[in-house]
Amino acid sequence: MNKPVNKTFGCAALFFGLFCQSILAAVPEYHIQLKDHLFFPSRIIIPANQKVKLVIDNQDNTPEEFDSFSLNREKVIFAHRKAKIFIGPLKPGEYGFFGEYNPNTARGTVIVEHSKKESPDAN
């Protein structure tokens, strides 16, 4: 008689576990510096089909807007402030980004590859 109750409880526990796993799953972080209106590193390699977090540190005295048409992202980063942006999961390929206020110099590329070539926090 308790079997249906146990089954329901088991299913609920399973879903709760999966929910917690999705919340607690660590999202890899990639750090980018903005100095003298240049992104460093200007090429970031990230794994395919995985959500990642970009942390951009604006070390300039002026604000900048991180912008990317292919990534569909835009975010203002104030002078001497950091900003975080989640991107992905993405298919393998190259995705350009630029600073909207200085698009001639502040340019970079997110390279999405199947195999993870470098450790995220090495940036």
Partner 1 sequence: MLINTVILFLRDALPIFVLVVYLYAHLPASKLWLFFCLVAGALLSLAYINQIHIIGQWFDGNGIELSLWLSQLLIYLLTLVLGYGLTRVQTSYQYFMFWVAGLMISLTLVSKGSNFILYFDGYLNQSNVLQPLLLGTFLGLGICLSLAVLLYLAAQWLKQQFGPWATWSLILVYVTGQLVNALPLLVQVDLIDPSAIAWSSQHLVSDEFEFGHLFNVLFGYQAAPSNAQVTVYVLALLIPLAIFYWLKQRSASQSGNKQ
If the CB atoms of residues 10 and 93 are measured against partner 1, the closer one turns out to be 93
| CA distance between the termini of the chain | 57
Shortest distance in whole angstroms from residue 19 CB to partner 1: 13
User: Under a CB-based contact definition with an 8 Å cutoff, are residues 78 and 63 in contact?
Assistant: yes
The Cα-based distances of 25 to 18, 20, 66, 72 in angstroms read 10, 8, 26, 24
If the CB atoms of residues 45 and 76 are measured against partner 1, the closer one turns out to be 76
If the CB atoms of residues 9 and 86 are measured against partner 1, the closer one turns out to be 86
Shortest distance in whole angstroms from residue 5 CB to partner 1: 32
d(CA 25, CA 87): 15
> Which stretches of the chain bind partner 1, using CB under 8 A?
27, 51, 53, 62-63, 65, 69-70, 72-73, 75-76, 78-79, 83-89, 100-103
Shortest distance in whole angstroms from residue 74 CB to partner 1: 8
Strands 82-87 and 73-77: unpaired
Shortest distance in whole angstroms from residue 105 CB to partner 1: 11
| All residues at 6 or more sequence positions from 6 whose CB lies less than 8 Å from its CB, including other chains | none
If the CB atoms of residues 10 and 89 are measured against partner 1, the closer one turns out to be 89
